Amino acid sequence: MDFLRPASWEEALAAKAEHPTAVPIAGGTDVMVEINFDHRRPEYLLDLTRIGELGDWEVGEETVRLGASVPYTTIMERLRGELPGLALASHTVASPQIRNRGGVGGNLGTASPAGDAHPALLAAGAEVEAESVRGSRLIPIDEFYTGVKRNALAPDELIRAVHIKKADGPQQFSKVGTRNAMVIAVCAFGLALHPETRTVRTGIGSAAPTPVRAKDAEEFLNAALDEGGFWDSGKIITPSVARQFADLCSAACNPIDDVRGTAGYRRHAVGVMARRTLTWTWESYRATGRDAHEMGGAA
Amino acid sequence: MGTTGTPTNITQGSRTRGGVGESTLRPDGILKVTGEFAYASDMWHEDMLWGQILRSTVAHAEIVSIDTSEALAQAGVYAVLTYDDLPTEVKHYGLEIQDTPVLAHGKVRHHGEPVAIVAADHPETARRAAAKIKVEYRELPVVTDESSATAPDAPLVHENRTDHYVGHVPHPNILHRQPIIRGDAEEAAKKADFIVRGEYTFGMQDQAFLGPESGLAVPAEDGGVDLYIATQWLHSDLRQIAPVLGLPEDKVRMTLSGVGGAFGGREDLSMQIHACLLALRTGKPVKMVYNRFESFFGHVHRHPAKLFYEHGATKDGKLTHLKARIVLDGGAYASASPAVVGNAASLGAGPYVVDDVGIEALALYTNNPPCGAMRGFGAVQACFAYEAQMDKLADKVGMDRVEFRRLNAMEQGSLMPTGQPVDSPAPVAELLRRVKAMPLPPERQWASSEGADVRQLPGGLSNTTHGEGVVRGVGYAVGIKNVGFSEGFDDYSTARVRMEVVGDEPVVTVHTAMAEVGQGGVTVHAQIARTELGVTQVTIQPADTQVGSAGSTSASRQTYVTGGAVKNACELVRERVLEIGRRKFGTYHPAWATAELLLEGGKVVTDGGEVLAGLTDVLEGECVEVEEEWRHRPTEPFDLRTGQGFGHVQYSFAAHRAVVEVDTELGLVKVIELACAQDVGKALNPLSVIGQIQGGTTQGLGVAVMEEILVDPKTAKVRNPSFTDYLIPTILDTPTIPVDVLELADHHAPYGLRGVGEAPTLSSTPAVLAAIRDATGLELNRTPVRPEHLTETETCWTSPRN
C-alpha cells in the first residue's frame, strides 16, 4: 500500500489523476476501520491532512462553504446558528475522539446510507464541490448519492468542500440507535423548514440503499401548509396532517432487515421521527422563526 | 453504603492500616487509568515472530484438503502448521471433556474454528500468509437448535463420543442432562389455585472484555517453553497445554500477563497451545494477539437458552410447585457446559421455598459458536425466567410483586430443590425490602425550564424524543448464585507466604497463582496479610506456575478460596514466628507462655497489648515460609436421576430494583436507576465490593437491552463480530447504581465472607425487563429486548434480504 502525501491541493488533484484508485484519507475514521477489518486494501492511500484549506469554512450570504475536513466538533461549536440540522447530526457521530477527526467530506466520500451528515445535508439543501485537474463542479446533493456506498464523483475527483444553504428557519435531526451514545444509525431523519420559500425539505438515513428525501411527504406538507395559510397564521399543525406527513415519510423508505434492525421497524421509526421533528420545528417557527422571518422580510 | 449485620470475628484482628475491611487502593489502579498498565497485548520480545490463526469460514464442513505451499513460500514466513504437524498423540483439549481439536482434523464444527497457524516476522506478513492457505471444504448441514439437533436424521456434531455423560443422555447431540426431582410436582399442581406458564428466550451474550486474547511463548534452552499469558487459571491451562506439546508440566512455565477483563471468557484455552507450538517449531519467541473481530471467535460465550416454566400458587400466595425445562445451547464443543447445566438445574427454582419441583436442564451440541463460562454461569438464564414467572404469578394471585416474593423467599434453613439445606444467612426477603424502601428517582428528571435535556431521555443525544411517548416503569428481581466450584469438584487454592526482615523492617511476601483479571484479588491478599501478620510491608509476587494452583478466577470464588489459602498460610507463618519467638525470648517474660499472642505493628504483643518483642529481633537471621493448599468444605455430585445432593459450597443473593423510561413509540429504553442490595457476608474491601456490584449490574443491563451475538440459523455463522454491531453499555446507558451492602457472616467462610462478583449479574436483567414490561404492558419473553419488540414491528430479522 503506497502512501501519497501531497503538500497542496493541486498536488492532491494531480495525484488523484495519476492514481484514480487512490483512496483519500483525512480523519481516517472510516477508511482506517475498513482497512483494519480487512474490508479493503487500497493500492494507494491519498493523505489529505497536509492540505490546510480543507479545514477552513466560509460563511457567505446564502451558503456556508464547509471544507471537506472541517471536523464535526467544529460544526457543533462554530456553525450551530448557520447549520443547526448538521450541528445536531454532528452531535450524534460516534465519540468525541471521532468527532475531533471526522468531517463531512469523509461521510460524502464513503456515501454509506448510515452516514449521519446525509439527512441534514438533504434537508438543508447542499451542493458538493468536486474538483479534478479537469476543473471544478458543484454536484447537487440530490444527485450525489448514486447507490449503496457509491456517489457521483468521477474517479479523478476529490471533494473540496460542501456548500450548504444557511438555515432560514428551524431545523431538526433525529437518529435511532439501540444505544444512547456511540451508535451507528438504525435509521435517521432530518427536517428543515424554509420559510423564505415556504417549503420543507427532508432527509432519511439508513432506510434505503442511499440517503433519500421523502419528496411525496414534502409536496404534501408544502401544499397543506400553503392551502391552510399556516406559514402566515402560524397555526398548530393538525394531527391528521402530521400523521399523513409521517406516513408518507415511512413510505419513502426502502429498508432492509439487518443486524441493526428490521425493515418494518425502520419504516415505523422514520414515521415517528418525522412527526416529532415536524412538531419541534413548527413549534420553534411559531415561537420565534415566524417573527424573525417577518422582520427580516420587512427590512 | 449501608452496612448491617452481626460483627464478623477476625481471628487475629491486627489494627495495621490497610487490613481487611478497609478500602485500600488497587496497586494497578493508577497505571490502568492513565493507560500505562502493561496488558498481555503490550508484550514484546527481541527477535519475536507473530502468530496468526486461519479460521474456518463455514460452520460445519468436511475438510477435503489443505494446501499450505503458497503460504510457506512467502518471504518472512517461518512456519505453517496444521493438524498433521501436531507433535504427539494428544491432539485435543478441553476443560472437562477433551473434545476440542488443537487444529481442525478432517472437519470443522463451527464458524471460526482454528484450521492452521502461521508464524512470520511481521503481523501483516502472517496475516497475508494465512490468507494464502487454501482450504477446500465440503459443507455439511448444520444443527442450530433443539429440534434440528435431536431430529431423527440430525447430523451428529461429535460421532463416537466416549465422555462420561454419553451414557445418560437421550441423544448424542445432547451433551449433558440433569434432572432435579423433589416431591411430586404433578400432584402438588392439583393444589394450585393459580398456574402460570411461560416460554422464555435468552440471547447469546459475549464477555466483551476489553483486552483481547494475547500471549507470548518463548522457547527455552532446556527444550521447554515459557508462556506469558492472559488467562483465568494458569494450572488448568498448563494441564491442557503440556500433553499436546509432549512436555512435562515443569517444562512449560507459565506467567500471568496483564489481563484486560475475563468474565469467564478466559477459562478455556485460546491461543496458548498455538503460540507454544510455533515457538517450539521455529525456536523463536512467538507473540499472538487477537483483534476484536477474532476475539469474538476466540472465546466461548454465554449459553443462549430456551426456558419453559410452570409455577402454581394457592390463593393466599404460597408457591405450590415448579416444573421447568431449560435448554442451553452449548455450541460445537463442551467447554464448561456440563457444569453450567448443573447450575441452571440446581438453581433453577430461584431463592424461593417450593417443595415440589421437577426441573430438567440440558445442554446441546450444535454447530453454533461454543458456549461456556460467563459471569453468572447458568444461574443467569434461569433467573430471567423464574423472575418473569414471579411477576405473572403475583399478578394472578392479586398480590404486590415484592410482597409475593417475600412471602415465598427462602431463608436460612430452607431446603434447595437438591435437598441441600441453606446453612448460612439467606436474607432474600430483607434484600427485597431494602431495594423497595430506597427512594425513587424523581419523575421527569429530563425536564428543565430550558426544555428537555435529551441526555436524560431514551435515545440520548440522538435527539429522538423531548418527552413524547416516554413512560416510566419499575421492576424488581432477586436471584441466587452458588459460590465456588460445585458437584464434588476438589476446589482448592495454594498460597505461599514468607516473612523476613528486609532493611530492618519485617516484610511479608505473598505468592499465589491467582489470576488477577481486574477483580482486585491482589489488593485483598495484601489486606489479609496485613491483618493476619501485623505488618505494613506486603509484596505480592507475580502469579505463575512456580507455586501450586490457585484454582480459577471464576465462580465468585477467589476471595473465598485463594483468600482463604492466604489467610491459612499467614496463620501458619504466625505460629512459626511465635515459636521462634518463644525459642529465642520465651524465658524473658512469662507472657510468652501464658498469654494469647498477636502480631501487631511489626511486634509480638499480648492480647492485652503489651509488647514482648519486635519482629526484627524475632526474625533476625531467620525466614519463615509456608506453602499450603487450602480447601473449602467438600461438596458432592448431584444424583443423575433426581439431582439430589450437597452440591454447592455457598450461596449468594442480590436483589435489584430497576427504574426505566421507555419511549413507547420508538421502543428505546433509558435505564434511570438500578438499585441493588446484596449480602456479602463481610466486605474485605468495601470499595471493590461496590465496584463488583456495579459492574455486574451493568453487565446484566447490557443483556437486557442491547448485548447479543446474532447467529444466522441457516448457516450458523456469526453476524455481528464487532463492537460496531455488538453493543455494550456506554456511560450514557449506565444508570445511577445505589448499592446497599449487607454483611451477614457465613461462619463456614474465611472472615464470614460471601463471593460477590456474580450475584448482581443475575437479578439485574430480569429487573430491567420487569420495568420495561411495567412501562409498556408487553409480555416480553426474550432478552435482550430490541426496539422492534417494543414497537411490535418485528419481521424476520434472521433472514436478511440482500
pLDDT in tens, B570-582: 999 999 999 999 9
Looking at the partner chain, which of A36, A180, A279 has a beta carbon nearest the beta carbon of B460?
A180
Span B54-64, mean pLDDT? 98
Question: Which pLDDT score, from 0 to 100, does residue B15 have?
Answer: 76
**Please, what sign has the CA dihedral across residues B74, B77, B83, B84?**
positive
CB contact under 8 A, B788 and A176: no
Interface probe with B: pick from A178, A189, A267, most Cβ of B within 10 Å: A178
Question: Which pLDDT score, from 0 to 100, does residue B792 have?
Answer: 84
Mean pLDDT of chain B: 96
Residue B216 has pLDDT above 70, yes or no: yes
- CA-nearest of B451, B441, B432 to B394 is B432
Burial group, residue B71, by CB count within 10 angstroms (0-12, 13-18, 19+): buried
Q: b/e for B138-171, b at 16 or more Cβ within 10 A?
A: eebebbbebebbbeeebeebbeebebebeeebeb
Contact present, A133 and A156 (Cβ < 8 Å):
yes
Span B221-238, mean pLDDT? 98
User: Which residues have CB under 8 Å from A52's CB, separation 6+?
Assistant: none
Residue B114 has pLDDT above 50, yes or no: yes
User: Which residues have CB under 8 Å from B432's CB, separation 6+?
Assistant: B402, B405, B406, B409, B476, B478, B655, B677
The tens digit of pLDDT for each residue in B716-753 reads 999 999 999 999 999 999 999 999 999 999 999 999 99
| Cα angle value B250/B251/B252 (rounded, 5°) | 95
Cα dihedral B254, B256, B259, B264 in deg (nearest 10): 60
Greater model confidence, B416 or A41: B416
Helix intervals (H) in B162-271: 185-189, 234-245
Residue B139 CA to residue B717 CA, distance in Å, equals 13
Contact residues on chain A for B706, CB-CB shorter than 8 A: 178-179
Contact residues on chain A for B717, CB-CB shorter than 8 A: none
Q: Which of A30-44, A203-217, B246-260, B760-774 has the lowest mean pLDDT?
A: A30-44
Laid out side by side, the sheet with A187-194 consists of A171-176, A187-194, A199-205
Burial group, residue A284, by CB count within 10 angstroms (0-12, 13-18, 19+): middle
User: Which residues have CB under 8 Å from B759's CB, separation 6+?
Assistant: B479, B480, B481, B556, B652, B653, B654, B678, B696
Residue A25 CA to residue B26 CA, distance in Å, equals 42
Looking at the partner chain, which of A181, A256, A262 has a beta carbon nearest the beta carbon of B732?
A181
Span B520-530, mean pLDDT? 97
Span B204-231, mean pLDDT? 98
Which amino acid is present at B528?
I
**Mode of pairing for the β-strands spanning B286-289 and B214-219:** antiparallel
- CA-nearest of A132, A203, A125, A206 to A166 is A125
Span A233-246, mean pLDDT? 96
Residue B494 has pLDDT above 50, yes or no: yes
The tens digit of pLDDT for each residue in B252-268 reads 999 999 999 999 999 99
Which amino acid is present at B324?
A
In chain A, whose CA is at the least distance from the CA of B735?
Answer: A180
Span B360-372, mean pLDDT? 98
Span A241-246, mean pLDDT? 98
Residue B802 has pLDDT above 70, yes or no: no
CB contact B291 to A (< 8 Å)? yes
User: Which residues have CB under 8 Å from A265's CB, separation 6+?
Assistant: A186, B667, B787, B788, B791, B793, B794
C-alpha cell at B656: 435489584
Laid out side by side, the sheet with A57-59 consists of A57-59, A63-67, A158-165, A126-132, A135-140
Residue B801 has pLDDT above 70, yes or no: no
Q: Place B287 in a pLDDT band, splitting at 50, 70 and 90.
A: very high
Residue B751 CA to residue B575 CA, distance in Å, equals 19
- CA-nearest of B95, B60, B111, B55 to B175 is B95
Q: Reduced to 3 states, what is the DSSP secondary structure of residue A167?
A: coil
CB contact B497 to A (< 8 Å)? no
Q: Place B6 in a pLDDT band, splitting at 50, 70 and 90.
A: very low
Which amino acid is present at B47?
D
Q: Place A290 in a pLDDT band, splitting at 50, 70 and 90.
A: low
Mean pLDDT of chain A: 95
Q: What are phi and psi of B633, to 5 degrees?
A: -60, 150
Q: Place A288 in a pLDDT band, splitting at 50, 70 and 90.
A: confident
The distance from CA B165 to its chain's CA centroid, rounded to whole angstroms, is: 24
For chain B, domains (ranges, CATH) are 29-36+492-631 (3.30.365.10), 40-140+212-259+266-298 (3.90.1170.50), 424-479+648-791 (3.30.365.10)
Percentages helix, strand, coil for chain A (3-state, rounded to 5) are 40, 25, 35
ipTM: 0.95
CB contact B642 to A (< 8 Å)? no
Query: 10 Å Cβ neighbour count for B444?
Result: 13
Span A56-83, mean pLDDT? 98
CB contact under 8 A, B733 and A179: yes
**Mode of pairing for the β-strands spanning B624-631 and A126-132:** unpaired
Cβ pairs A/B, distance under 8 A: 117
**Please, what sign has the CA dihedral across residues B684, B688, B694, B699?**
negative
Task: Please report the beta strands in B749-788, taking only residues with DSSP state E, as ranges in sequence order.
Answer: 782-783
Task: Reduce the secondary structure of B653-702 to three states and give it as a string.
Answer: EEEEEEEEEEECCCCEEEEEEEEEEEECCCCCCHHHHHHHHHHHHHHHHH
Q: What are phi and psi of A180, to 5 degrees?
A: -85, 0
Contact residues on chain A for B793, CB-CB shorter than 8 A: 262, 264-265, 267-268
DSSP output for B305-325: EEEEEEEEE-TTS-EEEEEEE
Question: Which pLDDT score, from 0 to 100, does residue B43 have?
Answer: 97
Question: Which pLDDT score, from 0 to 100, does residue B553 have?
Answer: 98
Residue B391 CA to residue B402 CA, distance in Å, equals 9
C-alpha cell at B483: 459460590
Query: 10 Å Cβ neighbour count for B773?
Result: 22
User: Which residues have CB under 8 Å from B452's CB, separation 6+?
Assistant: B446, B465, B466, B467
- CA-nearest of A243, A34, A53, A250 to A161 is A53
% of residues, chain B, pLDDT over 90: 96
CB contact B800 to A (< 8 Å)? yes
Question: B415: which strand partners?
Answer: B421
Q: Residue for cell digits 427536517?
A: A191
CB contact B75 to A (< 8 Å)? no
CB contact B594 to A (< 8 Å)? no
Distance from CA of B457 to the nearest CA of A (A): 9
Contact residues on chain B for A92, CB-CB shorter than 8 A: 461-463
% of residues, chain B, pLDDT over 70: 97
Residue B109 CA to residue B467 CA, distance in Å, equals 49
The distance from CA A17 to its chain's CA centroid, rounded to whole angstroms, is: 27
Q: What are phi and psi of B602, to 5 degrees?
A: 80, 15
Contact present, B773 and B394 (Cβ < 8 Å):
no
Task: Reduce the secondary structure of B45-59 to three states and give it as a string.
Answer: CCCCEEEEEEECCCC
Question: Which pLDDT score, from 0 to 100, does residue A292 have?
Answer: 52
Question: Which pLDDT score, from 0 to 100, does residue B750 have?
Answer: 98
For chain A, domains (ranges, CATH) are 171-298 (3.30.390.50)
C-alpha cell at A96: 468525541
Residue A79 CA to residue A72 CA, distance in Å, equals 10
C-alpha cell at A181: 451514545
Residue B746 CA to residue B682 CA, distance in Å, equals 8
Q: What are phi and psi of B355, to 5 degrees?
A: -85, -25
CB contact under 8 A, B797 and A276: no
